[in-house]
Chains A and B, each alone.
Chain A
Amino acid sequence: MSSDLQDLYQEVVLEHGKRPRNFREVEGANRRADGYNPLCGDQLTVTLRMDGDVIKDVGFVGQGCAISRASASLMTGAVKEMSRADAERLFERVHKLVTEGPEGVDMEALGKLAVLSGVNEFPSRVKCASLAWHALRAALEGKESSVSTE
């Protein structure tokens, strides 16, 4: 396998793509948003239970490719118990990572999400990796409508 393919489909990505964590609707959710990628028709829904400003629980359901499922799965693990402001900061970091690459991104602050660094080499897959994150941000903003990656 070519090295950039290896970077894209890292072990962790494949594993989360196959067995995504928090692949469920959050019980007692008080925020939700849909993410839709018109390029491929993939659709997912992120649900949150907020306690004040803190994300107490987060989950996602829907269909998508390995990249979008892995990114959503890793996201749910990362933002649980996070404040809204921290989650939004993380959104910015991940977005920069997948659109511009690892340069200038605090990789340590990203933790496990650093495995998404290979996406940058695949412009046609950036939308897959960012779909769940756009939905998360819309849910945090309390928007009820569907967000699109366009």
Chain B
Amino acid sequence: MSGAPFDVARVRADFPILHQEVRGRPLVYLDSAATTQKPQAVIDALVRYYTHDNANVHRGVHALSERSTQAYEGARERVRRFINARDTKEIIFVRGCTEAINLVAQTFGRTRVGPGDEVLITAMEHHSDIVPWQMLCQQVGATLRMLPVDERGDLRLEQLEPMLTERTRLLAVTHVSNALGTVNPVRDIVKRAHAKGVPVLVDGAQALAHFRVDVQDLDCDFYAFSGHKMFGPTGIGVLYGKASVLEPMPPWQGGGDMILSVTMEKTVYNRLPYRFEAGTPDISGAIGLAAAMDYLDAVGLDAISAHDQELLEYGTRALEGVPGLRLFSRARERSGVLSFLMEDVHAHDVGTILDREGVAIRAGHHCAQPLLSCFGVAATVRASLALYNTHEDIDALVRGLHKVREVFA
């Protein structure tokens, strides 16, 4: 897709927000796992849409409505191509990864999971891939089980088969841990779950900014992700589902666009994917997400992955040189995240001092409390990377950490 070699200076030039000072220092943005910054191409796509094409979709007979419908459905095709789904009817636009998981829990879950059944998740999940399943299990009287992690932050996959019982109705697993950066061998996990007849949902929120995802190759039943964590706008996300799995699922929210006809006696629901898109969707968000995918392909995902791995190695070496630092991101395969603690200094104090140095990181439990409790900590410092980060950013982080040591000497 991309011909030119990866040039981080050119990439940085595409992100206007990076070129500012924060508290008198050049901004060093190391919080992309929370949300990524947006390239000019995405910002322009939103402005262009609202400046020229804005109208409601699937309704009007007029020119603007035709244009916005075309752009919105064009975005759906763009997403299909990006994750290599078979058909655009397998691409459902939602608000974000969280909504996608809730949709599956409340439709697929409510019809397929019953009293005494089990839903299997992992100890590495974000709260958004825990709570919807807890809610479902409470509603239907099922049991939520959790595949543990080891001390390096890898899943204990030797326990996968024994935990996939004849009562397991679904396995939900994250592709990449938002708190540690662990990349799970999802393709293998899906294969093993399918061998026992268990469908799999993959939480892809942290994956698509870093490497190519092919849902047919993974063979997962559902793949959920957010636009804003892959350089697109907030408020838009995608639920991919295999057509054969989506087809029998009951609708979730009711409203316009998800119906074919409504009378007081009977409503006929629309076909896929519209059956799951009640109400006016986030049209501009979908268009912005498509622009983000265009951008990622123009830069080249192979080059982005290589840059990510190189930065992770550089960052790991640099952090290991900081006295009294404990690095938690030590899994076999990692992506985008360096999670750590400094001896005798709380993550929040580290975060405040780094902020005064212009370095933006996340301090806290990263919405992954079960995972952090496996490591016996309540909070960590998380520096998370994206294609626009540089060695200089890591150097600024390390300088800031030496400052922390000074303050807490």
A124→B352 contact, CB < 8 A = yes
Given the contacts A40-B363, A40-B364, A40-B379, A128 and B406 also touching, CB distance less than 8 Å: no
Given the contacts A1-B407, A40-B364, A41-B372, A125 and B356 also touching, CB distance less than 8 Å: no
Closest to A127 in B: B348
B-facing mask of A15-55, CB < 8 A → 1, else 0?
00010000000000000000000011111000000000000
Given the contacts A1-B406, A66-B408, A40 and B348 also touching, CB distance less than 8 Å: yes
Chain B contacts for A65, CB-based, 8 A:
346-349
Please give the distance in Å from B379's CB to the nearest CB on chain A: 5
A8→B352 contact, CB < 8 A = yes
Partner of A2, one of B356, B372, B408: B356
Closest to B344 in A: A18
Bound CA–CA A108/B224 (angstroms): 56
B407→A41 contact, CB < 8 A = no
Bound CA–CA A67/B349 (angstroms): 8
Please give the distance in Å from B146's CB to the nearest CB on chain A: 18
Query: Secondary structure of the B side of the interface?
Result: helix
With an 8 A cutoff between CB atoms, is A59 at the interface?
Answer: no
Bound CA–CA A39/B407 (angstroms): 24
Interface centre among A5, A42, A65, A125 (most CB of B within 10 A): A65
Please give the distance in Å from A62's CB to the nearest CB on chain B: 10
Chain B contacts for A64, CB-based, 8 A:
346
- Residues 113 to 127 of chain B near chain A (Cβ within 8 Å): none
Bound CA–CA A124/B23 (angstroms): 15
Chain A contacts for B363, CB-based, 8 A:
40
A40→B408 contact, CB < 8 A = no
B356→A4 contact, CB < 8 A = yes
Chain B contacts for A107, CB-based, 8 A:
none
A5→B407 contact, CB < 8 A = yes
Bound CA–CA A65/B406 (angstroms): 17
A-B contact pairs, 7 of them (CB 8 A): A1-B403, A2-B356, A5-B352, A5-B353, A9-B407, A40-B348, A124-B351
A5-B356, A41-B372, A66-B408 known; 7 new pairs, CB 8 Å cut-off, are A1-B407, A40-B347, A40-B379, A42-B379, A65-B348, A124-B351, A128-B348
